[in-house]
Amino acid sequence: MKKLTAVFMLLGLATPVFAGTPSFTIEIKNHLFYPDVLTVPANKKVKLIIINRDESSEEFESYELNREKIITGGRKGIVFIGPLAPGEYPYFGEFHPKTALGKIIAQ
């Protein structure tokens, strides 16, 4: 999607939000999220880099964040969230919903 990013910028159809966008990394190991609690700045767009260290796929899902993203085994996925009002936003791994739990704290 990086090439498309450049095309869209050239066409003036989109304003990039990632210039200066804070970036955070979440890892998936043994069907758990690390860190499981992540604090991010409120009222600002944030880029999450989610690295799946497991062999099997996991899905980062959160109704509160309005995001749903599959990260297949051994790969990484990018999820943009926010700007978020101050508060807590839970998320979970849809393939392991009882153990793969986490939350984003915007403050």
Partner 1 sequence: MKAKLFALFNSSLILLSYSVTTLADGNSIDKVYHPYVVETEVEVEWRTLFQNDNDDTLDDQQVHRLGVGYGVTESLFAEFYLIGGRSPSDDFDIEAVEIELLWQLTEQGEYDYDWGLLFELEREIDNQVWEFSTGLLIEKEWGHWVGAANLLVEYEWGNDIEDEIETAASFQLRYRYNAAFEPAVEFYQSEKTTGIGPVAMGNIRLGIAQKLHWEFGAIFGLKSETPNQTIKASLEYEF
Residues at the contact surface with partner 1, assessed by CB under 8 A = 1, 4-5, 8, 13-18, 45, 57, 59, 63, 66-70, 72, 77-82, 85, 94-97
Residue-wise burial string across 1-19, b where 16 or more C-beta atoms lie within 10 A, e elsewhere: eeeeeeeeeeeeeeeeeee
Q: Which is nearer to partner 1, 99 or 107 (CB)?
A: 99
Cα–Cα distance measured from residue 44 to residue 95, given in angstroms and rounded to the nearest whole number:
29
For the bound state, the minimum distance from the C-beta of residue 4 to partner 1, rounded and expressed in Å, comes to 5
Most distant CA pair in the chain, distance: 44
| Least distance in angstroms from the C-beta of 77 to partner 1 | 7
- In whole angstroms, the minimum distance from the beta carbon of 82 to partner 1 comes to 8
Contacts of 96 (CB under 8 A, 6+ apart): 31, 58
Half-sphere exposure of 67 (CA within 13 A, CB side): 24
Q: How far is the CB of 38 from partner 1 (least distance, A)?
A: 16
Q: Is 86 helix (H, G, I), strand (E, B) or coil?
A: coil
34 vs 57, beta carbon nearer partner 1: 57
CB nearer to partner 1: give 24 or 95.
95
Looking at beta carbons only, is 6 or 37 nearer to partner 1? 6
